[in-house]
Each structure stands twice: as C-alpha cells, then as structure tokens.
Structure 1
C-alpha cells in the first residue's frame, strides 16, 4: 500500500502560503516552518528569531526557484517580499486581477514542490551523516528488547525530564546494542536532528574469545567533553580556551535538542564529576549513558536495567547466530540439545554468541565444560571482560556475600536466608548487597513489599571455578 502523500503536501502548501503572508509580520516568534529540517538546520547555522529563520528558508527557496522558474520566483518576490498589491501586478502582467490569483497559486505550488525536494534531499543527507557517527552494529537483529526499546524511544522523544537516561546491566548483556538500536530507530524515523556518540570503552571482546584494546578511549570527563566538541563543533579551533569551548557547546545543546550517547560510562576515572557537567549541558538535549554500574546515588537520573534474555529468546538467538555463521546443524538442533548452553551461560547475549563462535572449532559439550571449568583462553577472557574490574572493586565482605549467592535458589532468595547460608549478619549483607546490586553482579527482583536476590546463570558458572584464581 502506497503512503498518502497528498495530505502532508497540501499541509505544506498552506503553511508556505501563510509564511509568505507573514513575511513582514511583527511577531518574531512565528515559526510556521519549524517542522522542516531545512528550518532547524538554518536555525542552528544562522540563529535569530523564528520569523527571521522562516524568511531565510523562503528566501533561499525563491532564489533557487529562479534558476528554473524565473517568472514565478519574481512574482513571489514582488507579491510577498515587496508587498506589491494585486491590482498593480495585474496591470504589470496585463491580466485580470482574478488571473493574478491563478498565477500566485501556480507560483506557490512551484515553490512548495521545490521545498519538498530540498527537504527530502536534506533529510537524506542528514541521516547519512548521523549514521556515520555511530559505531558499526555488532548485531544483525536484536531479540527480546522490544519493550525496552519502546520505553527508551518514549523517554528520549518526550520534550521533558528526565534529561539523563542510564542503560545499566552486567557486561555483555546488550547495553550498547540497545543504545545503538535506539539511535538508529530515531534516525530512521527522522526524530533526531543531531547526535553524538562518545565511548569510554577500553577493550572489546571478540567472538573468537580474544580481548582487543581500543585506541584512545575517553578516560576522563575533560576528554569526553573534548570529544563532544570535536564531533559537534569541528569549526572551533583547537586553541580555543576550554571554558570558551564548553560555553559554546552548552549554548548549542541548550538551543537545539541533541541526543548524545556516552558508552561504557563506568570506565571513566572521574565519573562523579561528569554527571553534574551533563546536567548543566542538558535540556532540551538528552543524554543516554550505558554503564555496568547502576548510578543510584546520582540525582535526576532515569535508570533502565537490561535483563538477561529469557530461555525462549536465548534459544532463538543461538539459532539465529548459528544460521548466520552457516552452522546448520547447530541451527537445526532441538531445544533439548541447546538447553545446556542456556543452563551454563544463561541469557547473556555475548556469552551465547561466544558459544556459537566456538562451535566452529569444538564440540558443544567441550565448549560448555571449558566455560564451567574456565580451562580455555576464550572462557578466561570472557570472565576477564565481564567480571574482573567489578571483582576488584569488591571489599572482602561483598566478595563473601557474592560467593554465597550460588547456594540460593536461582529464582531468588530473601536477605534472611542469604545471611544464614553466607554466615553474615543481616546488616552486613545489606551493605554488601548495596554494592553488588550497584555493580550489577546481583539482581534485586520483586515488588514494593518484597525483594529477592539472585545472580545470572553466567555469574553462577563464573563463581564455580574462575573466581578462585583471582584471590
């Protein structure tokens, strides 16, 4: 079914006609063409009142129209810009006054057609430019994130607080992929004019089981702000004083809404000093943060936690990755054959994809055994990538509490039970759980009146063998 273009085209014609009539309006706040990307782009470049920007859009279009329809362009300029009355135009054109309105309608139609083409070209170019700012996607199709993606779209496109949204979860759970899907959705739907992507990631885990260092990550708040300025304000000289550059960035972000992704926030050395800076830059700009650490202590921050995939979705992901990798036997395997994968690594997408990647080389039982026993380089690297930094941040009490978690029911246990099996006082366990939940090593589940605590299946597997080597 073809989209109905008549309605928006007719709407544009009415808006353009009204904007021409308002050329000399004294109301500087009239922004009739603000729904056009052409308008918003000129507003960023030239500034000024809404009426002035509207007139610039019209003037540039009329000048371009004169290259192919000089008579129509000259008529529009005389009628609306120079305020030449109908009777004088009729005399000059040697036609009846009623005919002047026919000429006017034809000229406006030509102008609208041109504006429509310009808008489509500008939007297409802008979308291509924005896509170049994103990192290459690490997925073909994301599974199991539809509800979270819709929530994010709602949060980011609503012109009101929260201005900072944190996507949080354990390593490999799909935070960056979800943020990437969000930005690609906003770009495709034309719901964002400007965006930036800044990563603080220091290493990547490849599906061969190796750890690849990342060149020049943003490691401090100052470096991160400098990276934003480089992306969004390339015209600024590198010798511009920091305070002046920051003031220019603030003016831009608070004049025009941007969406800015800061990936792997937890690796910044001075994250506590960054969030006040982001609040100072926000509104109407929105910031999306991905972090392995839940920033519950930060005010005015919306938290969206990424959970592991359910068993049905995890099995779909295994089959999808196997099909893409031409592992046809694995793709056609029964649920019974694939369930041991889920029981070993749970619904962690990175771990699931590692298993599929290793299936090119090894038998499935061997892969799962090595993950359980942490006896291979890929398995050790996976645990290093996901858990090492979090483990090193734990005090002895928090480590004791984490080691007790596998003793509980995978569906979750209450604090009293975990304190008993972990040989901890309830007060001590509360302190430890605060840190473990903040680091997304432990999940807090339940409702307003009851909480139960559990760990991911992959964390359970990790605690069986690998963690003993880090003491």
Structure 2
C-alpha cells in the first residue's frame, strides 16, 4: 500500500480546520474518528516520514478535508489541466437580478484585455456595494467571450475585517501567499511549483474575492511574478493600490437603477408601500442608501414586513449616509421579528465559512425539519439568506459576508457553539459517530 506525507501548506489547512473544532493536535476524538493511533497522528504532523495512504486519508476525512488538498505534490496523481475537463469555480449569483453594472463590467473587461494595462486590478468599495456579484459577472463574461482559458476563483473568508485590521486568532488563520498558491494548484490540478508554468502556458483569470481578509501584500508580491499572459482581479473593502495594481473603485448604483431595483423587487414581492412610493421618497432612498445594493435589498425586506415606508426612511435619515449603520438597524430589527428557528439558522451559519446544505441545518443546526422551509423562506424575505450553487451544481444556503461577520461578532446575539454542538457538526460532516462506527 502506498504512503503519503503532508505538505507545509497542507498542514496549515489542517491546522485551521482542527482549530475550528477546538481539537488539540493529538486529540483522542480525532484518533477515534480516523481510527488511527496517536502515534500515527503524531507522525502525520511531524512530516518526517510518510504514513500509509489509508490512514492519511482517514485523518483528513475526519476534519472534512480532501487528502489531495493536504498531501505534498510528489504524492499526488499526475495530471495536467489540458487533459482534464475545465471545472467551473465561479460562484453562483447571489441576487435574483443584477442592476446597473454593465458600464463597470465593460471597463474591467477592457482593462483585463489591454496589453498596456497592469496585470492586476482591484475592485474596491464598502461592504454591500456588490463587488463579488460584479466580479462574478465579469468572470462569466470573459468565458462567454473566450477572453481567458478559464477562471480560477479563491475566496478569503476565514477571517474578519474589523475597521481596517484583520481579526484572526493566529497568523495561520489568514490566507497568505503559500495558501493562495495552494488553492490555485488545486483548481489547476497540479503541484504548487507548477502553477507558474500553467499560468504562462495558458491565459487564466485569477479572482481573489474578499482580499481584505487575506495577507494581500504577500499574495500580490507572488502574483506579480507568475502572471503574464494571465491576469488577476481582486475584490476588497480596502483600497489596495501599490504601483503594480490598477485600482477600480466601485460606486453605488445610479439613481434610475436604484428605482428599477426597488420597483422590480416590489412587483416580485407584491409590496404596495414601495409600488406607491412617489418620486421624492425614491430620491430620498437613493441619496441616503448611497445606492448600495445590500442596503436597497434590506429596505425591500423591511418594507415588506412593516407594510409602510416611513419607519425605514426615518432610519435612513438617522444613519446619515453611513450605510453600515443602516445595515445594523435592519439586522437588529430583523432579529427581533424572526422566529426562533430562523435565529438558530443564522447562529449556525454565522459560524460557517461556506455555504451549507439544508439537510445539515436540520440535522445539526437545531432546527426541526418541519420548521426548516418556513424559516428559510422568512430569512429570504428579510434578504438575510442567499441561495448559491456550488461547483458540483448542489444548492447551498449562504450569508452575505457582512451578515456573517455581524452574526459572528455578536452584533445581535452572544451565542457560541458548545463542545456538544461542535461534536454534532463533526458527526454529521464525517458521517461517523463518536465511537468510530460507520452510521
């Protein structure tokens, strides 16, 4: 039987995964889940000698990781992107419709295809301005127009941005250049040391989403050395603008696009208070929301519930153009109105860094299966929940990064998962019970 050894980058991925479960490096529960000895687990961490592949796979599976994401390149199956089907790593759209971004998309496409332009672009703007959605549309447009061989998409969501600083338990929780390169290698299905070669043999578009929660300086230093003809696009709440990056600020929607969005959602949800809004009220919404799509969707959710526009306009006036202040008004109001099952869904999903299946919510999210459909519908009506397809075509539920970070930072609730909660999550994700028996 073959043996495998972890890479340095792979161990960093494992380290983050085990910290999420609050496990020690040599936790007995880990050994039980993987059905390996503590000695084997220690050898896995030490990397001095390879361990049996079945044990290696079991150790990775116990923390919901693919062993190929952890293994050193020399132990991976040999394959090249040219011999493989091109997988789609572009996330599914978050909004039912996207308004008013055609001009921005064309500007970015022109810059990406202009050989005289810098090879790295940064789409920057406040939270809720639609950076990820714009990047998604740009990525799909490049493939539709055959401008790039494929799109490689990396999302930095393991940490949070507080003010202008990254909040993380340790430096290893922050996506750095080695981990970023490792993610590219996974999507290219090649060792990390071959990424540069592939990016030069074919023209790829690399997108780093939520770059503000990554060690962007180290990543940019690496990118500048491996691009050409490939290109890179960042989305970030911070204005990263070194001399080798072209900054493209994203603005709020223009007034007529704000009105189109509000009318369309009002028709879709049948909201008379918005359908009957006069020109002055719509202009007030535009000015005070700064044209931020997230703010506009929150407004729709609030008016749908309140059945009147006046309280929402008053909160907008109190926020005085600070859209994140208005977001907080909306989230706090929603939290007071939604039912306990909906709150449990937000609590659970706030701790997750990626979209999850409905089955997972009902089994380990403390939501009865019979209550799940109505709770999900309620959260969608408040515009707190997003439906997305993963690269395999499965529907998953996710939160907007601003909503996730607000829940995680205890803006509306001080709930934290208990050890029992974490064990239940592990039991579900690994499909193994706590005694090591297959379910």
TM-score for the superposition, normalised by structure 1: 0.46
Q: Which has the larger radius of gyration?
A: 1
Q: Name the one with the larger helix percent.
A: 1
TM-score for the superposition, normalised by structure 2: 0.49
